[in-house]
Amino acid sequence: MKKIIDAVDDVVVDALRGMSLAHPDTLHVDLEHRIVLRARPKDDGKVAIISGGGSGHEPLHGGFVGHGMLDAACAGEVFTSPVPDQIAAAITRVDRGAGVLQIVKNYTGDVMNFEMAAELAEAESGTQVTSVLTQDDVAVEDSTYTAGRRGVGGTILVEKIAGAAAEEGRDLAAVTALAQRVSDGSRSLGVALTSATVPANGKPSFELGEDEVEIGVGIHGEPGRRREKIAPAKELARTMLEPILAELPGEGPALLLVNGLGGTPLLELYILLADAQEILAEHGIEVSRHLVGNWITSLDMAGASLTLLRLDEELTRLWDAPVHTPALRKGR
Amino acid sequence: MKKIIDAVDDVVVDALRGMSLAHPDTLHVDLEHRIVLRARPKDDGKVAIISGGGSGHEPLHGGFVGHGMLDAACAGEVFTSPVPDQIAAAITRVDRGAGVLQIVKNYTGDVMNFEMAAELAEAESGTQVTSVLTQDDVAVEDSTYTAGRRGVGGTILVEKIAGAAAEEGRDLAAVTALAQRVSDGSRSLGVALTSATVPANGKPSFELGEDEVEIGVGIHGEPGRRREKIAPAKELARTMLEPILAELPGEGPALLLVNGLGGTPLLELYILLADAQEILAEHGIEVSRHLVGNWITSLDMAGASLTLLRLDEELTRLWDAPVHTPALRKGR
């Protein structure tokens, strides 16, 4: 294993330290609890939004803390849920009296720990906590880490749109309902060209042949639907979009997220985007908004995922609203 | 070779098409000339700034086109300079009558082609063109593609700071002098953990052992100073910073750019940043500004580079000035 790390056991806290140094104007990092917070939270009475999960998916979630998106993110060990005490501490820290929404990717450990944290926080401080699960991955039901569908790229859309709604001053019930609507409307699928290597394991999580891709891979390297020979990008895009479109709810224009899994260069992501948009046009779907880059990654895994969400006028406006985080930034 | 591409010969134009679709509000892409332009250039009489070079280093340069940075970027084939006609077309397109500054990475082909383009444009339309070379890589003098030192991460600092100065309305001589000052003050070094694979070649450009890193690698995989066994990130940071610090001009606080070469996850870049900053503190150097991420890449190469530039008050202000490009965005 070749990685730019120091002690294998310290990768998360070492990275959080770097994150803290890199973004002093945006982030405050509580290294003890491994919570990423806004540097200068306003006491504006808004609903607070937290998220979190295993590390190794950067910039998710810490990179999405800031105005217009998250109030806090809890970093677990690599590919391991944060613990309830840590999440409860985050809830208490961000609550402004208007309640806290938790956005949780649907993995068994995360679901359990965020649930326990909500109960802890409610019991200790009376904070009102709601949760929305993201489960946008159409690849498989029930996988290595999941009962039901996995939460992947759709998580970013939920965090952005719910974040904008909270910033507008909507109440907890309204922000939660909106987050649920975005979660319900998002569909994703990923393909891996290589495995990730978890630092503590020291070797790739799975092996792929020289000419193979894993269709429907999870962000922890969970097995997908099948293995295929590598194909041109346009065929890959079609293979990814078909199951997404088969289950995509709603009508009208869509947001297309082209997400790199960590080891794939931007050049390839742009090629995939052009191909995906051409296929969507064949299906009569207009892509009205795009996001391309490495947003929810799997360490050094080469590969990409596509996510679609139909946008109405309200979702478009909230997607376009200003956001000011290390990873995603628009307007002011 | 496994890549998300269609025809090997079309990767650049296919990626430009995706780029154009992804950023309609910011970019206009002339696919025929392979020039990335601002979507809505203002006729404000400001000095125009162009750059460009071989593709495969995305987001450099096209991702840095927009308010506060470049007016145009010319995309060559992968790791190959754009051609003079193409660059001359870009010069003509962006000139607002105040002249054009070219920011050119010091590679033999680029230097020659930008020089010829400047002569062409001056002869055809009388446009006044100046050029600044970036040559911040302290690894080696004269390499596969270079006479003298290679231009790497410092290029981004020159583009950002000169871009801000042009936006302020400074004249061509002043913007050029400032760009030269930033170029003169920047020092970089990179390490590779793996080779990149150029699509047209179909195999890695060089081989590294399971436990080897190339110290001083170039962004096209040019050989560095030596090969070493992989070491903890802090030792790698020290190995990179020592030659940089030995030649870093000026005094006072510094900007630290931690740059991923394409295949290295953000988690590792943050760890490297924390280590680098600790070493700089030992040397009494305060890091007053940071930039971390994949900015000047080498396709899928795993590895990272560090760049330092001392900042005075003027450079700090220009670094902090609003920028509105696909890759880099601050303020408004």
What would the pLDDT profile of B133-170 be if each residue is shown by its tens digit? 999 999 988 777 888 999 999 999 999 999 999 999 99
pLDDT over 70 percentage in chain A: 100
Q: Which residue has the tokens 């670094």?
A: B319
What pLDDT sits at residue B332?
A: 61
CB contact under 8 A, A274 and B300: no
CA–CA dist B27, B71 (Å, integer)? 10
Average pLDDT over residues B5-22: 98
Cα A220–Cα A36–Cα A300 angle in degrees, nearest 5:
30
Q: Identify all chain A residues contacting B18, using CB atoms and an 8 Å cutoff.
A: 258, 269-275, 277, 292
Determine if the pTM surpasses 0.95.
yes
Please report, as a single letter, which amino acid is at residue B127: T
Q: Identify all chain B residues contacting A273, using CB atoms and an 8 Å cutoff.
A: 18, 21-22
Q: Please give the backbone phi and psi of residue B252, each rounded to the nearest 5 degrees, phi first.
A: 90, -170
**A52, A75 contact by CB (below 8 A):** yes
Please report, as a single letter, which amino acid is at residue A2: K
- Catalytic residue, from A23, A33, A57, A67: name it: A57
- Report the side by side order of strands in the sheet with A254-260: A226-229, A212-215, A187-192, A303-310, A254-260, A287-293
**A257, A277 contact by CB (below 8 A):** no
* CA-to-CA dists, residue B253 to A172, A281, B45, B278, angstroms: 44, 51, 34, 14
- Whether A28 sits among the annotated catalytic residues: the reply is no
For residue A135, what pLDDT band results from cuts at 50, 70 and 90?
very high
Contacting A residues, span 171-210, partner chain B, CB-CB under 8 Å = 193-194, 210
Q: Who among A18, A274, A300 is closest to B270 (CB)?
A: A18
Rounded (10°) CA dihedral B120, B121, B126, B130: -110
- Catalytic residue, from A23, A33, A67, A220: name it: A220
For residue A104, what pLDDT band results from cuts at 50, 70 and 90?
very high
Cα B287–Cα B293–Cα B297 angle in degrees, nearest 5:
120
Q: What is the mean pLDDT of chain B?
A: 96
CA–CA dist B247, B309 (Å, integer)? 11
| Min Cα separation A138/chain B (Å) | 21
Please report, as a single letter, which amino acid is at residue A9: D
Q: Who among B19, B300, B329 is closest to A265 (CB)?
A: B300
**B288: exposed, middle or buried (Cβ count in 10 Å: 0-12, 13-18, 19+):** middle
DSSP state of B43: -
CA–CA dist B322, B324 (Å, integer)? 7
Q: Identify all chain A residues contacting B332, using CB atoms and an 8 Å cutoff.
A: 331-332
CB contact under 8 A, B22 and A297: no
Please report, as a single letter, which amino acid is at residue A17: R
CB contact under 8 A, B302 and A300: yes
Q: Which residue has the tokens 């970093």?
A: A75
CATH of the structural domain B8-169, one choice from 3.30.300.30, 3.40.50.10440, 3.30.2270.10, 3.20.20.80? 3.40.50.10440
**Does residue A142 have a pLDDT over 90?**
no
**Does residue A332 have a pLDDT over 80?**
no
For residue B194, give the chain A residue with the closest CA.
A2
What pLDDT sits at residue A293?
A: 98
> Hey, is the C-beta of A304 within 8 angstroms of any chain B C-beta?
yes
The secondary structure of chain A in percent helix, strand, coil, rounded to multiples of 5, reads: 35, 25, 40
Average pLDDT over residues B36-42: 95
What pLDDT sits at residue B187?
A: 98
Q: Please give the backbone phi and psi of residue A129, each rounded to the nearest 5 degrees, phi first.
A: -125, 130
For residue A300, what pLDDT band results from cuts at 50, 70 and 90?
very high
Q: What is the mean pLDDT of chain A?
A: 96
Average pLDDT over residues A31-39: 97
pLDDT in tens, B170-221: 999 999 999 999 999 999 999 999 999 999 999 999 999 999 999 999 999 9
- Whether B61 sits among the annotated catalytic residues: the reply is no
Q: Where are the domains of chain B?
A: 8-169, 186-323
* CA-to-CA dists, residue B267 to A3, A22, A136, A218, A262, angstroms: 10, 12, 24, 19, 10
| Min Cα separation A126/chain B (Å) | 35
* CA-to-CA dists, residue B227 to A168, A325, B208, B211, B262, angstroms: 54, 38, 9, 10, 20
Q: Which fold has domain A186-323?
A: Hypothetical Protein Tm841; Chain: A;domain 3 (3.30.1180)
pLDDT in tens, B16-32: 999 999 999 999 999 99
CB contact under 8 A, B233 and A6: yes
CB contact under 8 A, B4 and A297: no
Q: What is the distance in angstroms between the CA of the first residue and the CA of the last residue of chain A?
A: 42
Q: Identify all chain B residues contacting A269, using CB atoms and an 8 Å cutoff.
A: 4, 18
- Catalytic residue, from B23, B33, B57, B61: name it: B57
Contacts 24+ apart (CB under 8 A), A278-281: A278/A234, A279/A234, A279/A237, A279/A238, A279/A241, A280/A241, A280/A254, A280/A256, A280/A308
Average pLDDT over residues A244-253: 97
Q: Give the H or E element holding residue B325.
A: none
- Catalytic residue, from B220, B283, B290, B324: name it: B220
DSSP state of A223: -
Q: Identify all chain B residues contacting A4, using CB atoms and an 8 Å cutoff.
A: 193, 233, 236, 264, 268-269, 271-272, 304
What pLDDT sits at residue B213?
A: 97
CA–CA dist A294, A59 (Å, integer)? 8
User: Which tokens in the block code for residue B298?
Assistant: 């080498």
What pLDDT sits at residue B139?
A: 95
User: Which tokens in the block code for residue B105?
Assistant: 């990475």
Q: Identify all chain B residues contacting A275, using CB atoms and an 8 Å cutoff.
A: 6, 14, 18
